[in-house]
Amino acid sequence: AQRVTQPEKLLSVFKGAPVELKCNYSYSGSPELFWYVQYSRQRLQLLLRHISRESIKGFTADLNKGETSFHLKKPFAQEEDSAMYYCALSVTAGGFKTIFGAGTRLFVKA
């Protein structure tokens, strides 16, 4: 079965510290992975996707098929990074679906 696991519900770091939000997936096909972010009082929005291999707001994420992971990283966290982060997997098995993890709330302390 397809599944996305985000093991940390809450992650708290100090400003300037590195941050890594973990995401593991389960999917037998070729995965397409995304990170979505929800800032306070804003709608959920795309942060980045693995096919683009881009860096957005200093965040990067590398797909590791061997470890079935797609961890989100930033070398120096900022207070404005505080938000809810969701890892998502797009699959075509049984229809076109996007499967979300339970989310990780990142809190960056001053």
Residue numbers at the binding site for other proteins (CB under 8 A): 4, 6, 9, 32, 34, 36, 43-46, 49, 51, 86, 88, 90-92, 95-103
H or E element at residue 98? strand 97-100
> Is the CB of 49 or the CB of 74 nearer to other proteins?
49
Dist CA 22 CA 8 (whole Å): 7
- 3-state secondary structure at position 82: coil
Contact 103, 22 (CB under 8 A): no
**Least distance (Å) between residue 102 CB and other proteins:** 4
> Is the CB of 43 or the CB of 110 nearer to other proteins?
43
> Is the CB of 6 or the CB of 70 nearer to other proteins?
6
